[in-house]
Each structure stands twice: as structure tokens, then as C-alpha cells.
Amino acid sequence: MKDIERSPVKTQYYTATSIDGYLADEDNSLDWLFQFGDIEEIEGVNDDYARFMDRIGAVAMGSTTYEWIVEHENLLENPEKWPYEDPTWVFSTRELPAVEGADIRFVQGDVAPVHADMVTAADGENVWLVGGGDLVGQFHDRGLLDEIVLSVAPVTLASGAPLLPRRITDPPLKLVDVEKRGDVFAVLTYEVQQSTEN
């Protein structure tokens, strides 16, 4: 498929993962991540996240990610805890409850036209793909993923929700930064190199 012309706005996949490439375990749990306590208190993590969020103007996620956030934070009863200030697109083929007062837009289908709306709404800021992995893969398939930022935790899960269920080998990702955060995370930043094939 021919690459779609890319915007100056960067579309980023920023997430935590196990060493063996899972976002959540087979029970869709993040207990493996929460065992490290308040992650934001780990040296450098809070600053990383704050800098990242300062440059974000639009957010996208899949239905499983959205439902997990809503349930984990009990957002239907406590909508003030909605964690995103920016407009958020939720991809789902099912009808999901909206969080009162949050700028949430439920969509489905091809990610390309939705991405164009997100870039417009971001108004020069970046677009954050929160997850899950298959949704991010759809953006990659359309040539719309620019960067992957992984906080790799020192655990293996053996199964669960995969980080990015796509074969990306030619061209490979380009490693542009490696940092250590406390004695827990390795933060790896990869640039997505687009195919030159027409």
C-alpha cells in the first residue's frame, strides 16, 4: 500500500511493556506493572511523562484500553478523574458509556480519516496512541505511525495482550534513544521508518 503523505505532527505510541512484548497479562491485568509501586516516583519517570504530555494535542485508544481505564478509575462515578485533557478518540464497534464532561469521540473503521481529524484537533501538537497493540498496528499499516516509545519493565509474561502484533522487518525500526529509569525501566525510543515502495 502506498504511504499516506505524513503530517509534521508526530504520531507516537508511548507505553509500558514486559521484556517479552506484552502490554497486559492473559487476564488483562497490569498487576505486573503496579508491583513497582507509584511508577511516577521512579527517578526520571514523572519528568519524562510530563514532557511527553506537554507536546500532546490528541489521544486515541481502542475499546479494551478505554474500558480498562473507565473501570480501573471508576470513571462513571468519578468522571473528574478522567486522565486526559486533550480530545480523545475511542475506536470501537460496540456502544460504550461516555465519561461525563470528557471530550471523547467514539469512532470505527479506517484509521486514516480519523487520524486527519486528530491532527487538525492537535493543532500542531503530537498525537498519542495509547493502545492497544492492534489499533496501533492499524496506524502503522496506513503509514501513520512515526515513533514508538517503550518503557520496558524487568518482567516476562509469556502470554497476554501483545505490544504490536505486526511484522515490522523491512525497513526495521530505527533506535534513536536509550535511557535508564531507576532500577526498573529501560526507555527505548524508536523511529518508524517508512517504506519507499510505491
pLDDT in tens, 87-126: 999 999 999 999 999 999 999 999 999 999 999 999 999 9
Q: For residues 164 and 148, is the Cβ–Cβ distance under 8 A? A: yes
What is the topology classification, in CATH, of domain 11-191?
Answer: Dihydrofolate Reductase, subunit A (3.40.430)
- 15 DSSP β-pair partners: 150
Q: Which three cell numbers stand for residue 161?
A: 495482550
Q: For residues 68 and 62, is the Cβ–Cβ distance under 8 A? A: no
As a whole number of angstroms, the distance between CA 23 and CA 133 comes to 8
Q: State residue 129's pLDDT score.
A: 98
pLDDT in tens, 153-185: 999 999 999 999 999 999 999 999 999 988 889
Q: State residue 26's pLDDT score.
A: 94
What is the DSSP-derived secondary structure letter of residue 39? G
Percent of the chain with pLDDT over 70: 91
Q: State residue 167's pLDDT score.
A: 94
> Which residue, chain included where needed, has cell 519493565?
153
Answer whether residue 198 shows pLDDT above 70: no
Q: State residue 66's pLDDT score.
A: 97
Reported confidence tier of residue 45, pLDDT bands at 50, 70, 90: low
Reported confidence tier of residue 1, pLDDT bands at 50, 70, 90: very low
For the chain, how many helices (H) and strands (E)? 5, 10
Q: For residues 129 and 145, is the Cβ–Cβ distance under 8 A? A: yes
Answer whether residue 9 shows pLDDT above 90: no
> Which residue, chain included where needed, has cell 469512532?
107
Answer whether residue 16 shows pLDDT above 50: yes
Mean pLDDT of all residues in 145-150: 97
- The more confidently predicted of residues 111 and 4 is 111
Closest residue by Cα to residue 113 from 4, 190, 3: 4
The secondary element (H helix, E strand) that includes residue 137 is: helix 133-141
Answer whether residue 77 shows pLDDT above 50: yes
> Which residue, chain included where needed, has cell 481505564?
69
DSSP string, 53-122: HHTEEEEEEEHHHHHHHHHHTTTTT-GGG----S-EEEE-SS--PPPTTS-EEEE-S-HHHHHHHHHHHH
What is the DSSP-derived secondary structure letter of residue 4? P
Q: State residue 49's pLDDT score.
A: 79
Q: State residue 182's pLDDT score.
A: 84
As a whole number of angstroms, the distance between CA 112 and CA 145 comes to 11
Q: For residues 32 and 159, is the Cβ–Cβ distance under 8 A? A: no
- The more confidently predicted of residues 155 and 51 is 155
Q: State residue 122's pLDDT score.
A: 97
**What's the predicted TM-score (pTM) here?**
0.90
CA angle, 171 as apex, 136 and 114 as ends, to 5°?
Answer: 30
How confident is the prediction for the chain on average, in pLDDT?
91
What is the DSSP-derived secondary structure letter of residue 172? P
